[in-house]
Amino acid sequence: MPLPKTVAFVHILLAGHVAPGARVIDATMGKGYDTVQLARLVGETGHVYAFDIQSEALSATAARLTSENLRSRATLIQDSHTRMRDYILAPVSAVVFNLGYLPGADKSCATQAGHTLVAVQSALALLEPGGLLLIAIYWGHPAGVKEKETLESFVARLSPETYRVLRYEFINRYRPAPYLLAIERFVD
Ligand SMILES: C[S@@+](CC[C@H](N)C(=O)[O-])C[C@H]1O[C@@H](n2cnc3c(N)ncnc32)[C@H](O)[C@@H]1O
């Protein structure tokens, strides 16, 4: 098998981790590609909670879900992922972040280091034992370098007793190339 690109690897990991009936979060819904993938995996008995601050993201994602006959499997929330714990109270088995800006939309709506860090901390608090947190990092925008440095320093200090942290990156690509941070919470 050829080495998968970042987003393809995200989807491979999700497929191996998210079972029918799971509750999961898409923290950066965008055009809904990850939301649809998650909605397929959770089946009819699971649920996806997806966040974005832009109304265009909600309409694009709703349309994509509807066209795949998956609309009832996802709740689309127009709010910042920093507030995910106001909406989701019970543990989840996976959380996905796809950082940066929505292609073709307002670049000033790109994710920001401070907000992303708060949201990642909230996501970890919601992650059930055995759960997976995936962060695809696109850092070729003005706030991207600060965001990746903030996240790297945070995840590198997570307790090795509780979490396993993977960095998946093609290190000889022209920079800035996207890469993945994957955090798995150990089963207690
Ligand atoms: C790279 S795009 C996500 C792509 C998406 N996963 C897809 O499948 O199309 C990043 C998204 O994060 C959103 N975003 C930025 N700041 C946010 C925040 N504080 N809370 C939630 N979403 C945010 C942007 O509006 C943008 O749609």
Whichever domain contains 38, its CATH number is: 3.40.50.150
Would residue 1 count as lying in a domain? Answer: no
Residue 135's domain spans which residues?
6-185
Residue 106 — pLDDT band, cuts 50, 70, 90?
confident
pLDDT at 163: 98
Q: Is the pLDDT of residue 188 over 80?
A: no
Question: By CB neighbour count within 10 A (0-12 exposed, 13-18 middle, 19+ buried), where does 24 fall?
Answer: buried
Would residue 146 count as lying in a domain? Answer: yes
Closest atom, ligand 1, to C-alpha of 106? 25
Best of 6, 25, 28 for a ligand 1 pocket test (most atoms within 8 Å of beta carbon): 28
Would residue 133 count as lying in a domain? Answer: yes
Residue of the CA atom closest to atom 20 of ligand 1: 80
Would residue 88 count as lying in a domain? Answer: yes
Would residue 119 count as lying in a domain? Answer: yes
Question: Which of 83, 184, 170, 86 minimizes the C-alpha distance to 134?
Answer: 184
> Please, what's the b/e burial string for 81-98 (b: 16 or more CB within 10 A of its CB; e: otherwise)?
bbebeeebeeebbbbbbb
Against a cut of 0.75, is the pTM above it? yes
Instruction: Kindly report the average pLDDT of the chain as a whole number.
Output: 96
Question: By CB neighbour count within 10 A (0-12 exposed, 13-18 middle, 19+ buried), where does 115 fall?
Answer: middle
Would residue 142 count as lying in a domain? Answer: yes
Would residue 77 count as lying in a domain? Answer: yes
For ligand 1, the distance from its centroid to the CA atom of residue 43, given in whole angstroms, is 24
Residue 115 — pLDDT band, cuts 50, 70, 90?
very high
pLDDT digits (tens, 9 = 90+) for 2-59: 999 999 999 999 999 999 999 999 999 999 999 999 999 999 999 999 999 999 999 9
Domain count for the chain, please give it: 1
165 vs 134: CA distance, rounded Å: 10
Sign, CA torsion 64/77/158/98: positive
Answer yes or no: are the C-beta atoms of 7 and 31 closer than 8 Å: no
DSSP single-letter state for residue 53: S
Residues with CB under 6 A from ligand 1: 28, 30-34, 51-54, 57, 80-82, 98, 100-102, 109, 111, 115
